[in-house]
Amino acid sequence: MSEIERKFLVGEVPADLGAGDHLRQAYLAVDGATEVRVRATGERCMLTVKGGHGLERDEVEIEIDRDRFDALWPLAQGRHLEKKRHRVAVGDHTAEVDRYEGTLTGLTVVEVEFASVADAERFAVPDWFGRELTGEPGWSNAALATDGRPG
């Protein structure tokens, strides 16, 4: 499957985000443009493989049980991150605002997924989104988990 997504460094965090969902994710392997991660949100756990860089990437997700997540989590030592995810309606789209925790506290990014590249290119970017990060080295979640926030 393909994922078409744009990512931005939030300039001004909206005041009405609500509680959000707590996400824990860890990168089991990162090899060039391919990454393998596990993620837990509440009781739901996923194993995800992504490939490629930029606007359009390949993505395969498989639901796993909590025991498998707990067994895989420590295998990604030094490549973990935690964040609160807030969903915000932006026109016909849903923006996912991620407020990072731990060593990345203070970092807020927003991502929007699209049905097509044309849809992504037509998207009217709200002012509060800030600078676009799509495809920029160092700003993927895998890079943030491994290397921290880019300088």
Q: What is the CATH number of the domain that holds 74?
A: 2.40.320.10
Task: Give dist(CA 31, CA 137) in Å, integer.
Answer: 14
SS3 category, 46: strand
pLDDT of res. 11:
84
List of the chain residues with pLDDT < 70: none
Containing domain of residue 44, as a range? 2-147
Q: Please write the tens of the pLDDT for every residue from 106-120.
A: 999 999 999 999 999
pLDDT of res. 134:
96
DSSP state of 16: T
pLDDT of res. 16:
86
pLDDT of res. 53:
87
Is position 27 annotated as part of the catalytic site? Answer: yes
- Out of 8, 27, 69, 129, the active site residue is 27
pLDDT of res. 58:
95
Burial of 83 (0-12, 13-18, 19+ CB in 10 A): buried
Number of domains in the chain: 1
